[in-house]
Structure 1
Amino acid sequence: MLLLLLAAPGAFAAPASPAPAWRPPAVAVATAHPLATEAALEILAAGGNAFDAAVAASAALAVVEPYSSGLGGGGFWLLHRARDGLEVMVDGRERAPLAATRDMYLDAEGRPRPGASLDGPLAAAVPGEPAALAHIAARYGRLPLARSLAPAIRLAREGFRIDARYRRFARLRLATLRASPAAARIFLKDGEVPPEGWRLRQPELAATLARLAREGAAGFYRGPVAGRLVAGVRAAGGIWTLEDLAAYRVAEREPVRARWRGLRLVSAAPPSSGGVLLAEMLHMLERFHWERLDAAARAHVLIEIMRRAYRDRALWLGDPDQVDMPLGRLLSRAYAARLANGIRFDRATPSAALGPAPGTRAGAGAHTTHLSVLDAEGNRVAATLTINYPFGSGFVPPGTGVLLNDEMDDFAIAPGVPNAYGLVGAEANAIAPGRRPLSS
């Protein structure tokens, strides 16, 4: 969930007795890996702002958490600029190749081919993270992109010690990594999961990052890196073209905003589903006296609320550049009240009773990564990055060091067919050329 939580004036009652006002430290950084946190702090100490630090942390995570994010993936960066209050979402979501078709993962009988949208280069959408990092640095940062990428380049070149988490995900995706000679050479040791403490060096990724640092987005989406990416993908059965890479563009979007219990919530807009669902669910929750409910009743209410919100996710949400979504209705309190009024405490609502939308299965993905940065000026960044399944598609185009995503699995492969996380979709999230898949 991508979220900035801001307190409105008077949101909280004054304490019974005076107490010293608590203030956050001048800067704050939180990431999933200490080396990425150190990279962000290094850039802040060098005079960068929160946006520069977020670029540094994102790139460092691409090196030290290859199972969760990377240059071969994408993400959403939610920015708050202190000097003028600007709030914007930088959409670096991956896009389907221009040759993609809605039935590309189905067999002759119209059934999904197992693993086709998860493993190998055919599962990879066109990455957005490199373009997003260059965009944020150029438009919002204070330092050159090369300075913000320097810690990640150093980590890729010199290496770092892998931990138990790395080994767990490598074991999960061992067969897929072995299927890509370049990936196996980088992420495995003699074809096996490396021991804890093994030093992972990624010189080819360091070279790709260095070209991005020198040339900006063009260093990834055009020229030698783009040529190697496309050649590697096509040689292994993928459908990328140079045009796919050259056509990629970052989008800036208005965040989703909502108020709840005196707080102002600013969250991600589609193609992330998180902000819309969060606002819709909180608006429904307002209709219940939460404090008066026992544990069983609370669980029942939450399940019923989520059932209704995820139905709307499956039916309506998709790429805002290609799909007309009724966001005004989905975010309205009146609509939430109508949905909440159908919740009964004496029975569960069958999914079929909610209407003709696809159902959803329980599923939660833990294979993204999140970072938060606050600088001394009050600039803030909340970012969620991913390559989808652990180690993405498991495929590295030779000579690039770039592990590709398997975000094509986030599309609705076929009506009612769940993705790797149990989520299903409808026409709004069907595969289409150049479309961004809906994110959970």
Structure 2
Amino acid sequence: MSSSSSSSSGDVPPPPDDANEGCVGPTSSIAGRASACAGCPNQSACASGAFNSPDAISARKDDRNVLISSLSRVSHVVLVLSGKGGVGKSTISAQLAQSLSSRGYGVGLLDVDVCGPSIPRMTGVIGGWEPVYANPNLGVMSISFLLEEGDAAVVWRGPRKNGLIRQFLTETDWGDDGLDYLIVDTPPGTSDEHISIVQFLNDARPPTSNKSGVGGASGAIVVTTPEEVSMADVRKELNFCKKTGVPVLGIVENMSRLQLRVSDLSFFRDVHEGRSMDDGDNDIMGGTSSDCTNDVLDLLREKCPEVLSMIASADVFPPSGNGPRGMAEKFNVPYLGRLPLDPNLLKACEDGVSFVDRYPTSPAASPLNAICDKIILALPVEDDNEDDCERNGTMQE
């Protein structure tokens, strides 16, 4: 977007979704005549000056005022991002929101993954065009509330997605008390949804509207798994944050290792080729093993019961180089910590409950609490209605 924009309101709309690369913006003094405009489908409209007309300027002011009013009672907006799909953004979003709400903070959880919304399942809610409360402190909003069928596909182009995101930000009623934290779960990549949410937040939250002095989003949590295939895409997301001015609160290394108590493991004995298998045998390793879990656990209880409470660990995704910690150092952003692949964490999301409340001694509970602590320290909330020390009493030492 060009710095030569001539909008008298100071509110500059973003380039159209189908604009050429290098678009100077529809309100630029050279809109429609710049070299980047050649061949653009919007060239004639931009050159007409319609975007700088009094009516257009007034409409942009009205739109911006609606955004400002809608988010005026939200203390912090936190984006959960990753350039890679399947790394656990929704898991982090849902459980961070659950954990913050369990500590007494007012939390909103907004699912802008328009084509693949999973937040409702992970918080155990269904509903309509209002936030649905998973608990008294946690409101949830998602496009899946608006679908007649849960398995319906959302096949929308960018402009319609962007319109829905704007509706989410302007028409969702988070209650008279507002929110301490609005957690926004995003889809993979750096596409329409990301550009739109950042632009809308920049319009709605000028630098004077939040305590950090930074406009737009209060910050982003970037999620990755430790292998290079994932980190290569996540580096693009970090560059997106830098380019759009979104502060990075830190990187979460998710699913770093599988961790289970020995008592929760299953054990299987290899079966030699040619040996028949009983009907009760499990189809593990291509049908060449039989379940001997009970025998192994009984033996451990008899011979060395202390082993049963130990944590067994194994790499699932091979770490690359210095991993996400090294990537954080390279980009000069915080490293929030490492979450192991914990079946109880996955179960909590399937059941729509708070993991740290349901499974407080599970391997991933302490790391998740520590990540939550760091977010609260980075984005403190002033509260005139209750004692901050009492509300933060559940924080880890």
Q: Which has the higher contact order (CA 8 A, sep 6+)?
A: 1
Q: Do the structures match in fold with TM over 0.5? A: no
Structure with the largest fraction of strand: 2
State the TM-score, normalizing by the size of structure 2: 0.29
Name which one, 1 or 2, has greater alpha-carbon Rg: 2
Name the TM-score, length of structure 1 as normaliser. 0.27
